[in-house]
């Protein structure tokens, strides 16, 4: 006989879980930055205000940057916007004490772009999605 139930969590319960792991992490590896999470997000806009490209990232806990999303509008690709945004975020992260950046990208996305910018593959997940690969990449900055 089981003595528990599994239920869909509320937003408050999900926050409790997140806070629980943060508290545990703190007990093992004290955070080296304040505040613990700093969003570093930028966009490039055309003169008419349309968003042409954007990058979302977070500098977290130990001065590590997680690059979550880099997107360039299809008709604006090959204009250097991706490189401009990546360089800007790397510069800001470095100024804030960042030493390591990591991200993931699919085989149909931007692996070669990141390799060109000094990132290296440290892991590959096969069949994610089916018949594709997901690459885990990192870059040490000084």
Give the strand pairing for 133-140 and 120-126: antiparallel
Q: What is the CATH code for 31-140?
A: 3.40.630.30
Q: What is the pLDDT of residues 6-55, one digit of tens each?
A: 999 999 999 999 999 999 999 999 999 999 999 999 999 999 999 999 99
Q: What is the pLDDT of residue 142?
A: 81
Residues in the chain: 142
pLDDT averaged over every residue in the chain: 97
Q: Using CA atoms, how far apart are residues 24 and 102, in angstroms rounded to an integer? A: 22
Q: pTM score, two decimals? A: 0.91
pLDDT above 90 (res 66): yes
Confidence band for 67, pLDDT divided at 50, 70 and 90:
very high
Q: What is the pLDDT of residue 131?
A: 97
Instruction: Tell me the mean pLDDT in the region 47-72.
Output: 97
Q: Using CA atoms, how far apart are residues 81 and 27, in angstroms rounded to an integer? A: 41
HSE-up of 1 (CA within 13 Å, CB side)? Answer: 1
Instruction: Tell me the mean pLDDT in the region 102-114.
Output: 97
Percent of all residues in the chain with a pLDDT value above 90, rounded to a whole number? 98
Q: What is the pLDDT of residue 128?
A: 96
């Amino acid at each position: 006989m089981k003595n528990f139930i599994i239920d869909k969590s509320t937003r408050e319960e999900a926050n409790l879980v997140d806070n629980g792991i943060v508290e545990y992490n703190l007990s093992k590896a004290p955070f080296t930055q304040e505040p613990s999470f700093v969003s570093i997000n930028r966009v490039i806009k055309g003169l008419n205000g349309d968003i042409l490209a954007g990058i979302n990232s977070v500098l977290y806990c130990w001065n590590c940057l997680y690059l979550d999303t880099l997107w360039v509008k299809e008709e604006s690709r090959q204009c250097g916007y991706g490189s401009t945004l990546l360089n800007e975020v790397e510069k800001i992260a470095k100024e804030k004490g960042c030493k390591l950046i990591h991200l993931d990208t699919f085989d149909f996305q931007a692996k070669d772009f990141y390799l060109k910018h000094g990132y290296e593959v440290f892991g590959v997940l096969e069949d994610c999605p089916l018949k594709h690969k997901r690459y885990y990449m990192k870059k040490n900055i000084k």
